[in-house]
């Protein structure tokens, strides 16, 4: 959830002050795809790869007070309770360069579902303005030398994966810089 574009699970950066924490909400990319993409990101030399589970951001890194967390979890439970599973098809690569130094695996299907879900997540206690328009994606290289960004873009140009989304996760940014799932929110029809 890096603080790149609208990515939500893993930038090194300022720690949340006492009495608060930094959270993100994301669709986790399931195995075997998630682990493979994370290892591939590591192979490009991305120092954040091991600290960030492979994901599609719904809420970028957001500081919340400890006392607000129960309301956030209640809100996310309500959002998930009215959603139905949908499919994501990952195909090829894209980049936000030169605006932001990010190479990503692109969504070919599931974009509208992610946009709807993201809009619902970013309501109520999580309402906020984003720095960039929402563009669902899976980051595979972030803030690397141009030749490594180019390599990531080329090597994953033919990447393909399909998976069903049956919920999303609330992540918390640990003091060690690692993003970890805090809570899982299954869609109502996902069982």
| pLDDT value, residue 1 | 58
Residue 3 banded pLDDT, cuts 50, 70, 90: very low
pLDDT at residue 5 tops 70:
no
Looking at 96-177, which runs of residues are DSSP E strands?
102-109, 137-142, 160-165, 167-173
| pLDDT value, residue 83 | 97
pTM (predicted TM-score): 0.88
> For residue 130, how many C-alpha atoms fall within 13 Å in the half-sphere facing its CB?
20
Sketch out the chain's domains with CATH numbers. 20-190 (3.90.1140.10)
Mean pLDDT of 100-119: 97
138 CB-near residues (< 8 Å, 6+ apart): 29, 37, 54, 55, 56, 90, 104, 105, 107
pLDDT, the chain, mean: 91
Mean pLDDT of 96-124: 95
Residue 131 banded pLDDT, cuts 50, 70, 90: confident
User: Are the beta carbons of 26 and 1 closer than 8 angstroms?
Assistant: yes
pLDDT at residue 190 tops 80:
no
pLDDT at residue 149 tops 90:
yes
């Amino acid at each position: 959830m890096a603080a790149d574009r609208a990515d939500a699970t893993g930038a090194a950066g300022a720690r949340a002050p006492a009495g608060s924490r930094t959270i993100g909400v994301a669709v986790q990319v399931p195995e075997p795809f998630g682990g493979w993409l994370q290892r591939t990101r590591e192979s490009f030399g991305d120092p954040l790869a091991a600290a960030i589970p492979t994901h599609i951001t719904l809420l970028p890194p957001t500081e919340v007070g400890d006392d607000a967390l129960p309301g956030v979890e209640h809100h996310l439970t309500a959002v998930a309770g009215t959603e139905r599973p949908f499919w994501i098809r990952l195909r090829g690569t894209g980049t936000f360069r030169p605006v932001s130094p990010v190479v990503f695996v692109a969504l070919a299907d599931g974009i509208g579902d992610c946009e709807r879900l993201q809009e619902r997540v970013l309501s109520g206690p999580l309402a906020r303005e984003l720095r960039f328009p929402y563009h669902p994606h899976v980051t595979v290289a972030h803030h690397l030398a141009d030749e490594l960004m180019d390599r990531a873009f080329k090597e994953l140009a033919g990447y393909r994966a399909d998976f069903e989304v049956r919920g999303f996760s609330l992540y918390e940014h640990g003091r060690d810089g690692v993003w970890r799932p805090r809570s899982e929110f299954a869609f109502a029809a996902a069982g």
